[in-house]
C-alpha cells in the first residue's frame, strides 16, 4: 500500500511505483528521476533540485545494490539512513520515493546482466571487477520501471555516467540522461555518502584529492598539455598526505582510455584510500585556448 506524506509518496513495490508514476503522467506531468543508494547528502539534493526545475513529478530511488559491490565489507558498511533520506528528498523537491527490497529489483527468475563494455574496463572497472556490469544492470532496470523523461546523475562518478550514456544509447532507452556537476564541501572535498565514515583526521587528509585536482586544473589553464605533468600534480598531494592511490590518470572523456596529451576534452580521475574509506574524484579538463 502506498504511503504518502504531505509532499512525498513512498512506493515499496514495483506495482506501487507504477501506480504513482502512472497517476503523475495521467495528470499530464513530466517525470524526472534521480537514482541513489541512499545516505542522501547535498549532492543528491542538488540532483533532485535540478530535476524539480524541469519536472513537476520527481522520482528518487533508494536502493543499495548488492551486485555492484565486489567487497562484502563495503556493502555491509554502506550507510543506510532511510528516514532521513525521505526528509531530504522531499525537502529538495522529490514527489515519489521508490525504496524497494532486493526481491522487487531482482525477482525470482531474474537472469539478465548488462556487459558494460570497453568504457568500463579502465580505472574503476580495473579495480572493482564486475562493478559496472552490476551498476548498469540495476540502472537499466530502474529506468525501465520508472519510465522517466529525464534521469539525473552526478559527474563525480564520471565513468559511471559514461557507461550509462553508452548503454542508454545502444539499447535505445527513451529516458534522456543529464549529467550534473560535482557538488563540493566548502573546503573542496567532493560530497559522498562515504565521507560520513571518515574520522576527523582522515577527513583532513582526504582534501589531498581535490587539492591535487585543483592544482592540475591550474596547470592546464596555464597551458600545460602533458598528461604526466597533470597526473603528477595530483600524485604529489596524495603522497604528501600518505594516501595509498589506485590511480591518478588522465583519460579521454568519451572512451576513458588513458591519453598522453591534453589535446581534447579529458577527465583527470583519482581514487585513493583514506583510512578505511576508498574515495574517488575527478575534474574535466580541456586544452587551454591559444
User: Annotated catalytic sites, by residue?
Assistant: 44
Q: Which residues contact 270 (CB under 8 A, 6 or more apart)?
A: 209, 212, 213, 234, 238, 245, 247, 248, 249, 280, 281, 282
> How big is the CA angle at 205 (ends 204 and 209), to the nearest 5 degrees?
110
Residues 247, 123 contacting (CB under 8 angstroms): yes
Contact 69, 187 (CB under 8 A): no
- Give the list of residues 6+ apart from residue 47 with CB closer than 8 angstroms, or none: 34, 36, 152, 153, 154, 180
Cell of 141: 532496470
| Nearest residue to 13 (alpha-carbon basis) of 96, 104, 80, 89 | 104
Amino acid at each position: 500500500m502506498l504511503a504518502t506524506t504531505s509532499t512525498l509518496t513512498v512506493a515499496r513495490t514495483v506495482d506501487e511505483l507504477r501506480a504513482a508514476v502512472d497517476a503523475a503522467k495521467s495528470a499530464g506531468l513530466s517525470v524526472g528521476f534521480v537514482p541513489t543508494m541512499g545516505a542522501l547528502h547535498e549532492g543528491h539534493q542538488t540532483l533532485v533540485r535540478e530535476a524539480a526545475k524541469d519536472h513537476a513529478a520527481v522520482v528518487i530511488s533508494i536502493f543499495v545494490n548488492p551486485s555492484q559491490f565486489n567487497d562484502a565489507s563495503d556493502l555491509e558498511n554502506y550507510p543506510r539512513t532511510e528516514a532521513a533520506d525521505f526528509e531530504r528528498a522531499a525537502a529538495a523537491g522529490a514527489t515519489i520515493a521508490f525504496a524497494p527490497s532486493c526481491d522487487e529489483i531482482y525477482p525470482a527468475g531474474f537472469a539478465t546482466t548488462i556487459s558494460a563494455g570497453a568504457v568500463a574496463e579502465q580505472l574503476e572497472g580495473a579495480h572493482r571487477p564486475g562493478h559496472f556490469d552490476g551498476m548498469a544492470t540495476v540502472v537499466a532496470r530502474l529506468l525501465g520501471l520508472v519510465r522517466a523523461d529525464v534521469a539525473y546523475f552526478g559527474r563525480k562518478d564520471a565513468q559511471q555516467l559514461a557507461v550509462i550514456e553508452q548503454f542508454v544509447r545502444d539499447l535505445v532507452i527513451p529516458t534522456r540522461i543529464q549529467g550534473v556537476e560535482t557538488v563540493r564541501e566548502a573546503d573542496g572535498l567532493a560530497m559522498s555518502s562515504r565521507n560520513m565514515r571518515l574520522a576527523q583526521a582522515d577527513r583532513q587528509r582526504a582534501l589531498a584529492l581535490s587539492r591535487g585536482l585543483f592544482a592540475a586544473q591550474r596547470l592546464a589553464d596555464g597551458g600545460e598539455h602533458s598528461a604526466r605533468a597533470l597526473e603528477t600534480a595530483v600524485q604529489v598531494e596524495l603522497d604528501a598526505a600518505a594516501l595509498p592511490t589506485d590511480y591518478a590518470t588522465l583519460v579521454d572523456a568519451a572512451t576513458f582510455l588513458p591519453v598522453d596529451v591534453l589535446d581534447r576534452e579529458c577527465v583527470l580521475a583519482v581514487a585513493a584510500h583514506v583510512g578505511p574509506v576508498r574515495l574517488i574524484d575527478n575534474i574535466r579538463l580541456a586544452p587551454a585556448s591559444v
